[in-house]
């Protein structure tokens, strides 16, 4: 089996999460990722807890399978090494604030002139254009400014941050898509392109229902807890021992739900269509819970699953890591240490592709500058 990106070389100047998540995705698909880090401390996440044997599990989860070389891009000797790497690379990825690479002499215009086939991927808080391009940002800033926090949480309560760092992660996903498209285009044109992804833009891009509601009704939606604002019933429900999820996304599924619950309301005008159900969502929730409170979550999940109604438990991360479906899909992998022993657990690659390797373990996360000798020898080989 051949990894789809085998043979491609990615120079990774990124740190923390958005950029490293992008390059991890590319590494999982077979690209050789060379992480170029500052000599003093390297990637900030090397200092992020939790730690095991003195090393960051956070860093390992996002940087496994990469190689590291420490270079000071203001020092002449290190710049010479970096430029030799540029000559061998297919892609460079950076997540500095706009202007930093230009001040170093490695902005898009300079690199495109010197290395016309090189694809340049950039991810930043606000992008490389617009009045706020040079402002700093972190995940929480763009979740707040991008509208995601305004619809997250319970009604009439303070907005809350999404538990996962989707400001970073979504931007990293979009950047990897852009890089792959640019590589495909380069095969036709022979020229690289610049990809400019903003974390703020990426938050707006995932607000599909919120944008539609706002532009049609003229009123911005607020938080609705676990309930979908445009589909009903599509939320959490109480059983006798706690909450579980029901997602009946169309009229046929709602009819199946009513049959499974022995609740004869599918023809009731208040519930016969999705718009009607949305208008009467609170009443419908009470009617459903009058039934579901009579038995356990496991009972209802089993019964509704047998009826073909989408449903499921609300699992914590520990439970997810043991979920048989997750394990069957190789979505929990071992990250090895430099001696080949299991050191950490990490999420696997969700992109499953025919005839592509999907090993149960991943190569180690690199020590800072830990691959210098190997990388320099590779450069000497031409």
- Is residue 238 among the annotated active site residues? no
d(CA 273, CA 248): 12
Q: How far is CA 284 from CA 49, 200, 225, 258, in A?
A: 44, 36, 16, 11
State whether the Cα torsion 23-366-13-80 is positive or negative: negative
Residue 266 CB-density burial (10 A; 0-12 exposed, 13-18 middle, 19+ buried)? middle
CA distance 103 to 107: 8
361-362 sheet: strands from edge to edge: 342-347, 332-336, 361-362
Residue among 112, 128, 209, 228 flagged as catalytic = 228
Q: Are strands 361-362 and 332-336 parallel, antiparallel or unpaired?
A: parallel
User: Do 112 and 118 form a contact (C-beta atoms < 8 A)?
Assistant: yes
Angle formed by the axes of helices 18-28 and 166-189, nearest 10°: 50
- How many helices (H) and strands (E) the chain has is answered by 16, 14
Q: How far is CA 164 from the centre of its chain?
A: 9
Please give the backbone phi and psi of residue 74, each rounded to the nearest 5 degrees, phi first.
-105, -5
Residues forming the active site: 228
């Amino acid at each position: 089996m051949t990894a789809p990106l085998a043979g491609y070389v990615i120079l990774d100047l990124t740190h923390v999460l958005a950029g490293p998540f992008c390059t991890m995705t590319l590494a999982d698909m077979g690209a050789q990722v060379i992480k170029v880090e500052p000599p003093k401390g390297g990637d900030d996440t090397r200092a992020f807890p939790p730690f095991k044997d003195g090393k960051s599990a956070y860093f390992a989860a996002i940087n496994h399978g990469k190689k590291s070389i420490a270079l000071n891009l203001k020092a002449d000797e290190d710049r010479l090494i970096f430029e030799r790497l540029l000559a061998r690379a297919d892609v460079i990825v950076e997540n500095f604030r706009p202007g930093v690479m230009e001040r170093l002499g490695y902005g898009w215009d300079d690199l495109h002139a010197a290395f016309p086939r090189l694809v340049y991927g950039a991810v930043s808080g606000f992008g490389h254009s617009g009045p706020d391009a040079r402002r700093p940002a972190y995940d929480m800033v763009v979740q707040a400014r991008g509208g995601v926090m305004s619809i997250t949480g319970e009604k009439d309560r303070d907005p809350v941050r999404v538990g996962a760092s989707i400001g970073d992660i979504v931007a990293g996903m979009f950047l990897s898509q852009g890089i792959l498209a640019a590589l495909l285009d380069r095969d036709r044109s022979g020229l690289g392109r610049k990809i400019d992804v903003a974390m703020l833009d990426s938050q707006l891009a995932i607000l599909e229902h919120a944008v539609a509601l706002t532009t049609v009704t003229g009123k911005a939606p607020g938080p609705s807890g676990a309930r979908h604002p445009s589909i009903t019933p599509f939320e959490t429900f109480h059983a006798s021992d706690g909450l579980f999820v029901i997602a009946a996304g169309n009229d046929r599924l709602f009819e199946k739900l009513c049959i499974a619950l022995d609740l004869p309301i599918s023809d009731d005008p208040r519930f016969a269509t999705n718009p009607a159900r949305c208008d009467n969502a609170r009443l419908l929730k009470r009617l459903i819970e009058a039934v579901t409170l009579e038995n356990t979550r496991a009972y209802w999940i089993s019964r509704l699953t047998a009826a073909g109604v989408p449903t499921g438990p609300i699992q914590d991360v520990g439970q997810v890591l043991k979920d048989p479906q997750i394990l069957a899909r190789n979505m929990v992998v071992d990250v090895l240490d430099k001696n080949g022993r299991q050191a950490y657990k990490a999420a696997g690659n969700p992109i499953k592709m025919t005839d592509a390797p999907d090993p149960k373990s991943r190569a180690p996360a690199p020590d800072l500058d830990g691959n210098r000798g190997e990388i320099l020898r590779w450069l000497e080989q031409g």
